[in-house]
Amino acid sequence: MALWDRFRASTQTMQTQLLAKKNELKSGAFRDASMAVCALVAAADGSVDPSERRRTAALITSNEVLRNFDAADLQRRFDAGLDKLAADFDFGKVGLLQDIGKVAKKPTEARAVVQIGIIIGGADGNFDASEKAVVREVCLAAGLSPAEFDL
């Protein structure tokens, strides 16, 4: 099986796992951490072009688990995360990783945030090195080992 096929199968498995836990994933901390990881992955290469912003926003609104939350609120939080990164990438990144750290004591939420990051990162068919590096940092902020996710 080709590498991409294995990755796609893995993300489909992750999505199934997320759906199975959908009712447990309703906290404000999970919502904020999810939008933080989306912003970090979208900006992993240091910039976010408008098409990437639109594609990530579309993925957010189509994700079944994230439908637990108001779509307009998610969009506002995602945009706010991107704005923080655009204003001062390093400082914005620290703030977003702190948001992710708030789910560290809830393993189900922490794993779900990482899984969302991986799904978003691979949605364009290329989970590149910069996106993997960001998701590894997200794992650490969420109190999880990157090895658990083959990162």
DSSP-assigned letter for residue 125: S
Instruction: Summarize pLDDT for 84-135 with one digit per residue, the tens.
Output: 999 999 999 999 999 999 999 999 999 999 999 998 888 777 788 999 999 9
Instruction: Summarize pLDDT for 6-57 with one digit per residue, the tens.
Output: 545 555 665 666 655 777 788 999 999 999 999 999 999 887 778 778 888 8
Q: Which fold has domain 27-149?
A: TerB-like (1.10.3680)
pTM confidence score: 0.86
What whole-number distance in Å separates Cα of residue 96 and Cα of residue 117? 13
Q: How many residues does the chain have?
A: 151
pLDDT at 2 over 60: no
The domain segmentation of the chain, as residue ranges, is 27-149
What is the separation, in whole angstroms, between the first and last Cα of the chain?
Answer: 19
User: For helices 89-101 and 71-87, what crossing angle results, to 10°?
Assistant: 140
